[in-house]
Amino acid sequence: MRPRLWLLLAAQLAVLHGSSVLQQTPAYIKVQTNKMVMLSCEAKISLSNMRIYWLRQRQAPSSDSHHEFLALWDSAKGTIHSEEVEQEKVAVFRDASRFILNLTSVKPEDSGIYFCMIVGSPELTFGKGTQLSVVDFLPTTAQPTKKSTPKRRVCRLPRPETQKGPLCSPITLGLLVAGVLVLLVSLGVAIHLCCRRRRARLRFMKQFYK
């Protein structure tokens, strides 16, 4: 299809700058090999015959960098593929004002910057681009290292040795001594009274038998 030749030449000669007319999301995406990728381009204008082109740039943007045409979406014909891409791998479809580029079974060689574009008169309008990086293995998120909390040393007071037998505290000893003294005094009083009664009885007997 010869019209695509002038499109590629025009894309190479155009000065690329991000436009607010076409908003691409996400700006950067990294996926694993053989996965599916969906890139979005939202058009902020409405055209009667809307055509959205998707291009790929395999190297860093520069004045002489090459842009590879992948596919376009036409309001009348739907998806139109480039002759150099696998049709079952690349698809473009519309969702309201968004135009989705769907890539399946991506490989590392599919890495690059993907641009959506509309052809005006005479200028070309590009989106800001989406950088796609395809890797065999995704980096795993490193778990934050847990700082080991030093164990606090607990100073324990020495336990008093268990005493065998009854406890002899000063209060206990005082109560025992007081009890013994009371018993001794009571015993002394009882003996004294007993002696007095005996003496009185002897005196009475002596007076009775005179």
CA atoms of 202 and 116, how far apart (whole Å): 145
Q: Are residues 94 and 189 in the same domain?
A: no
- Whether the per-residue pLDDT at 210 is higher than 70: the answer is no
What predicted TM-score, i.e. pTM, was given to this entire model? 0.57
Q: Is residue 145 part of a domain?
A: no
Q: Is residue 153 part of a domain?
A: no
Q: Where are the beta strands (DSSP E) in 146-191?
A: none
Mean pLDDT of the chain: 78
- Residue 199: give the domain boundaries: 181-209
Domain finish residue from 133, 151, 172? 133
In a domain, 104, yes or no: yes
Question: Do 105 and 196 belong together in one domain?
Answer: no
pLDDT, residue 56, reads 93
- Half-sphere exposure of residue 176, counting CA atoms within 13 Å on the CB side? 7
Query: Do residue 202 and residue 110 come from a single domain?
Result: no
Domain boundary among 133, 148, 173: 133
Q: How far apart are CA 150 and CA 153, in angstroms?
A: 9
Q: Is residue 156 part of a domain?
A: no
Whether 168 has a pLDDT exceeding 70, the answer reads: no
Q: Is residue 117 part of a domain?
A: yes
Are residues 205 and 106 located together in one domain of the fold? no
Q: pLDDT digit string (tens) for 2-40?
A: 445 445 444 544 444 456 788 999 999 999 999 999 999
149 lies in a domain?
A: no
Torsional sign, CA 79, 80, 83, 84: negative
Domain boundary among the residues 93, 108, 133 is at 133
In this prediction, residues 55-78 reach a mean pLDDT of 80
Is the same domain home to 185 and 119? no
In a domain, 35, yes or no: yes
Q: 101: buried, middle or exposed (CB in 10 Å: 19+, 13-18, 0-12)?
A: buried
Q: Does residue 9 sit within a domain?
A: no
Q: Provide the domain count of the chain.
A: 2
Mind listing the pLDDT tens digit for each residue in 126-142? Answer: 899 999 999 998 887 55
Please check whether residues 126 and 23 belong to one and the same domain. Answer: yes
